[in-house]
Structure formats: C-alpha cells, structure tokens
C-alpha cells in the first residue's frame, strides 16, 4: 500500500519508500565496514522494526544472525507511557556478542535506553543502535544512536512497520497520521 491509497487518513508523507530504500543501502554499507570481522547480532524490536529489519538485513553483505525482542511502552494510544514491559525475550545468549539494535523510531527514547542498559547488563561486547526514524524534539532521555535514518518532527507517524492500533504497518511510506483518525 502506498500513501496515495490512504490519502484521507494522512496529512503529509515524510519519507517515501524510495528514500527509505536508499538510506538502508547507505547504513548497511557503514555497518558492513564497522563490524568487519566482528560477531554481529541484529536484534529487532517487535513489531515496529519488522520492515526495517527485513530490508536492512538483506542490504548487508554479511550473514548476521537475527533475534527479536518484544517490549511495549505504548498501548493503543499515541503517547509513550514510559513503562517498558518485556513481552518476548531474546532467544540468544548475547554474552560477548556485538549487538546492533534495529529500531523503527526513537520517540521519547525510554524504550531504547532501557534496552541498552538491559543488554549491557547481560554482557554484550558492544551495544549500538540503528533507528530508521528519530524525533529529536521528543527526547525525554538521550539515547546514543550510532546510525539514524531520518530525523522527523514530533508528530505521530505511521507506515513501514509503524502502526496506529495495529493498522498502517503495511504502508510502504512513512506519513503523518491525520488527527481525525485517532481523536
């Protein structure tokens, strides 16, 4: 589905599928170089990161294993609750691994700062973050994010894995959700 298919539900397209695809190639090339010879483990944060993980991991030139974590700091609303809850833990022992967390978006930063602390405590050799999107003005905590796709304004966005009440994840572009949809 493209933004034009749901044009009455969105106010603006922020990032197109084509821009995302070009950015993923660019970040993948950096990651390939930065992790050369290292034991890299990609950790995706469900469910928002599914699209980024699918396309980003395939843009890499190394056979990096993949694991998933499900946490939630959001209910069905559009504001972060600040409470992080583990819904599915990793299957992998990350002791000594170079973990790269693959995320859809950094909003308040609360989820990622919690994950970074958690993974470091489990003995990972290093923990870095790739977030496709970041809302710099919404930060409640600073998260050291080595790879960032796009900085966007503090608006509620959907698409490319990002949902509103589980919908719009299959939109290929990233767009601002029209307020009439959630108010």
Q: How many Å apart are CA 13 and CA 86, to the nearest integer?
A: 32
Q: Which of ligand IMP, Mg ion, none sits in contact with 16, Cβ below 5 to 8 A by type?
A: none
Nearer to Mg ion, 17 or 107 (CB): 107
Cα-Cα-Cα-Cα torsion 84, 88, 91, 97, nearest 10 degrees, comes to -20
**CB environment 74-94: b (16+ within 10 A), e (fewer):** eeeebebeeebeeeeebeeeb
Q: Which of ligand IMP, Mg ion, none sits in contact with 15, Cβ below 5 to 8 A by type?
A: none
How far, CA to CA in Å, does 12 sit from each of 158, 175, 176?
11, 6, 5
Query: At 170, which helix (H) or strand (E)?
Result: none
Q: Does 106 bind ligand IMP (CB under 6 A)?
A: yes
Q: Does 80 bind ligand IMP (CB under 6 A)?
A: yes
Q: Does 11 bind ligand IMP (CB under 6 A)?
A: no
Give phi and psi for 179, each to the nearest 5.
-55, -30
Stretch that binds ligand IMP, among 35-43, 55-63, 105-113, 118-126 (CB under 6 A): 105-113
Tally of CB atoms within 10 A around 12: 13
Among 16, 73, 92, 126, binds ligand IMP (CB under 6 A): 73
Tally of CB atoms within 10 A around 178: 17
Structure-token pair, residue 146: 């080595």
Q: Which of ligand IMP, Mg ion, none sits in contact with 110, Cβ below 5 to 8 A by type?
A: ligand IMP
Stretch that binds ligand IMP, among 12-20, 25-33, 107-115, 118-126 (CB under 6 A): 107-115
Contact letters for ligand IMP, residues 32-51 (x by CB under 6 A)? -------------x--x---
Residues lying near Mg ion in the complex (CB under 5 A) are found at 48
Name the residues that contact ligand IMP, by CB under 6 A.
Answer: 45, 48, 73-74, 80, 103-111, 156-158, 162
């Amino acid at each position: 589905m493209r933004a034009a298919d749901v044009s009455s539900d969105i106010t603006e397209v922020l990032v197109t599928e084509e821009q995302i695809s070009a950015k993923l190639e660019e970040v993948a090339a950096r990651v390939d170089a930065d992790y050369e010879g290292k034991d890299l483990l990609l950790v995706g944060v469900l469910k928002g990161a599914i699209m980024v993980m699918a396309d980003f991991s395939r843009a890499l030139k190394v056979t990096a294993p993949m694991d998933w974590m499900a946490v939630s700091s959001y209910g069905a609303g559009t504001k972060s609750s600040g409470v992080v809850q583990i819904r599915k833990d990793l299957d992998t022992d990350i002791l000594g691994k170079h973990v790269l967390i693959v995320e859809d978006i950094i909003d308040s930063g609360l989820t990622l700062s919690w994950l970074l602390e958690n993974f470091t405590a489990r003995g990972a050799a290093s923990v870095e973050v790739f977030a496709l999107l970041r809302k710099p003005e919404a930060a409640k905590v600073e998260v050291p994010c080595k790879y960032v796709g796009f900085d966007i304004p503090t608006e509620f966005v959907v698409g490319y894995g990002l949902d509103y009440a589980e919908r719009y994840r299959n939109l290929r572009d990233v767009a601002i959700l029209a307020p009439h949809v959630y108010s």
